[in-house]
Amino acid sequence: MGGLWPSLVRTEYLSGLRDCLKTTRRLDEPMTESIVLFGPPGAGKGTQAGRIVELTGKPQVSTGDMLRAAVKLGSPMGMAAKEFMDAGLLVPDEVIIGLIQERLQEDDAKQGVLFDGFPRTIPQAESLDKIATVSSVISIEVPDDAIVERIVGRRMDPETGDIYHVTFKPAPAEISDRLIQRPDDTEETVRSRLEAYHEQTAPLADWYSERGLLIRIDGNASINQVGDSVEAAVSRIL
């Protein structure tokens, strides 16, 4: 019986997709200009995303947030996504694109959005290109060894959830003995994530570069220096 789940779930998804497409934007309607932000784990995307939002007024959009919101709201695409999630399956690109279509119709997205961490592959970028106009792609680039140093050195206080770093943000001496390293912060895990990121993103960066949209930012600097570079890039976009 378990082997039937994927086909049953896909049937449910296709039904939800057809219902959703009746209400989503026509692809020949005017499209807003959006920005894509990507970079490896530990590159500081979260900090710089906040800065871009402040500079542009464009809302930050991540697929994880969209999935949770759509499921909670009970939208057609949210219900389609829930079928896959409940079955322990990856949510297909078609559903993610449908969620993005829904998101782009909200009032705060009329002037475009900041896509954080999406697209990650060329097929995703090609699908996104059909429903949104991407005016620029900001890539925060940091050498792998620097990323490893940033992440592997992290320590968490299990009592407060506060994050420290053995080099960049040492914890107070009185709590240092109780700090732990999270499983995702080991060197083996970090390098595995970086390998997967490069396999996906290197072709995508080339794809956007060929279209004259890619802006490379040296992320191996202080937060303020990286922020200044991002601000300069955004000022050229606006």
- Considering the chain, what is the average pLDDT of its residues? 86
What amino acid positions are annotated as catalytic residues? 45, 120, 154, 182, 193
Token pair listed for 19:
């219902």
Res. 95: pLDDT tops 70: yes
Distance from C-alpha of 147 to C-alpha of 194, rounded to nearest angstrom = 9
Tens digit of each residue's pLDDT (9 = 90 or more) over 120-148: 889 999 999 999 999 999 999 999 999 99
Q: Is 183 exposed, middle or buried (0-12, 13-18, 19+ CB in 10 A)?
A: exposed
Tens digit of each residue's pLDDT (9 = 90 or more) over 154-190: 999 999 999 999 999 999 999 999 999 999 999 999 9
Q: Does residue 158 have a cis bond before it (omega within 30 degrees)?
A: no
Q: What is the pLDDT of residue 85?
A: 85
Q: How confident is the model at residue 102 (pLDDT cuts 50, 70, 90)?
A: confident
Tens digit of each residue's pLDDT (9 = 90 or more) over 6-58: 444 455 544 545 454 444 443 444 446 999 999 999 999 989 999 999 999 99
For the chain, report the end-to-end CA distance as a whole number of angstroms. Answer: 54
Res. 5: pLDDT tops 80: no
Residue spans per domain, the chain: 1-30+63-108, 31-58+111-238
Instruction: Residue 29: name the closest of 106, 133, 115, 136 by CA.
Output: 133
Tens digit of each residue's pLDDT (9 = 90 or more) over 192-232: 999 999 998 889 999 999 999 999 999 999 999 999 999 99
Fold of 31-58+111-238: Rossmann fold (3.40.50)
